[in-house]
Amino acid sequence: MVKVVKFGGSSLASAEQFKKVADIIKADEARRYVVPSAPGKRFSDDTKVTDMLYSCYDRAAKGKNFDAEFDAIKQRYYEIIEGLGLTISLEDEFATIRACFIGKAGRDYAASRGEYLNGIVLANYLGYDFIDSADVIFFDDSGKFSSKKTYEILSDRLEGCERAVIPGFYGSMPNDTIKTFSRGGSDVTGSIVAASCNADIYENWTDVSGFLIADPRIIENPEPIKIITYKELRELAYMGAGVLHEDSIFPVRKAGIPINIRNTNKPDDFGTMIVESTSQRPEYTITGIAGKKGFTSISIEKDMMNSELGFGRKVLEAFEKNGISFEHMPSGIDTMTVIVHQAEFEQAEQEVLASIHRNCKPDSIVIETGLALIAIVGRGMRATRGTAGKIFSALSDSKVNVNMIDQGSSELNIIVGINEEDFDTAMNSIYNAFVEKK
């Protein structure tokens, strides 16, 4: 078995955290390839090394003195090295970085040095090979990830390497300049490494024990999610749940590799498994609940709308021409409602309404603002009768009025629209209706 393990910034913020990471890696012989982030915050008021690098580079690029900022960065790494009892020196690396800062090598280069230096330290501490991501992860001239070239070169490199550390977050352009991933950061690198070596599992270690059924800022001590499918994850992420970015999931999803989200500070916790599909029934009917505020509904009414060819296209065209994407579109025989982000709609409100009137000749248009959408997601909903009834009974008992209902054809999710002031009440009501308190 081969496992690729990625560790986030909080997992590598100090020498103490490095020791936890090393214990985790050495506890399982299958953990052969390690992807580290840059050192994160050691405490709440601390500064991430990546932010320190950005700030330092900005001063250098403006021709200002950056000695104090640069020394602070060096100090962070030497504290880790000393705490681990290592004898390595990074002075040559720092000299190169300083010269590149003065030469205005770019903010991507500056930001990437956090992962680069952390990778060197971690490889030395573990006794693993160090592979510079700039040598194995590539972007094209337009800055787009070059998957074919990367997988070919990285696969060959890993085949000849039993154990290695590959820094996250960056790769190289055709002109050898450094380019960072715009979204997903080191999570993307971990996913790419896992796909390149056909790993059995991609473990993503962070400071939480996997995903939770609901937002802990709204629901008190929500239950963890043990297993979630990629489709369920996408639905929850779309509705604002704080999960992995889609870019960081795609490489392993395409390769059929499961992801295990684990907690560095609680390594015995099972965490959350993200899989393509599973025969295991979920513990609860629902897998998760997520929601967002700040929506507006525009309801268009017109007699015989359903028999008018191209009516829906004309309505949506009014939004498209003004750069507004719609979220949902529930409709009836003579009504059609378009749900959009309120902030976007406000910028071109009158233009959109004028276009609808001009092209569609509606009988009336009704606008409702201050809406929130809540998505109830779960593969268990398909095989369970009365799920929708349970949701609406819970909301009714809590005196929450439902303004919109939308269910996907996959029966994987139900989305309800409510007033923003009822958001927390609705989330708690739905959660308590499906999750038994332990």
What is the predicted pLDDT for the residue at 241? 66
What is the predicted pLDDT for the residue at 245? 72
Which parts of the chain register pLDDT below 70?
183-184, 240-243, 409-410, 437-438
Contact 240/290 with Cβ under 8 angstroms?
A: yes
Contact 21/125 with Cβ under 8 angstroms?
A: no
Q: From residue 18, how far is each of 34, 79, 210, 297, 416 by CA, in Å? A: 13, 12, 20, 50, 44
| DSSP annotation string for 74-124 | HHHHHHHHHHTT-----HHHHHHHHHHHHTT--HHHHHHHHHHHHHHHHHH
Q: Could you give the 3-state DSSP secondary structure of residue 308? A: coil
Q: Which CATH superfamily is domain 3-207 in?
A: Acetylglutamate kinase-like (3.40.1160.10)
Cβ neighbours of 379 (radius 10 Å): 23
Q: Angle at CA 185, nearest 5°, toward 183 and 186?
A: 155
Tokens of 227: 């297993």
The terminus-to-terminus CA distance of the chain in angstroms comes to 35
For helices 49-61 and 91-102, angle between their N-to-C axes, nearest 10 degrees: 40
Q: How far apart are CA 247 and CA 5, in angstroms?
A: 17
Q: How far apart are CA 341 and CA 107, in angstroms?
A: 32
Domain ranges of the chain: 3-207, 288-434
Contact 337/415 with Cβ under 8 angstroms?
A: no
Q: Which of 237, 279, 274 is nearest to 257 (CA)?
A: 274
Q: How far apart are CA 200 and CA 259, in angstroms?
A: 9
Contact 168/190 with Cβ under 8 angstroms?
A: yes
- Tokens 């390149």 belong to 196
Specify the CATH architecture of the domain 288-434. 2-Layer Sandwich (3.30)
What is the predicted pLDDT for the residue at 437? 64
Q: Is the pTM of this model over 0.75?
A: yes
What is the predicted pLDDT for the residue at 143? 93
Contact 415/430 with Cβ under 8 angstroms?
A: no
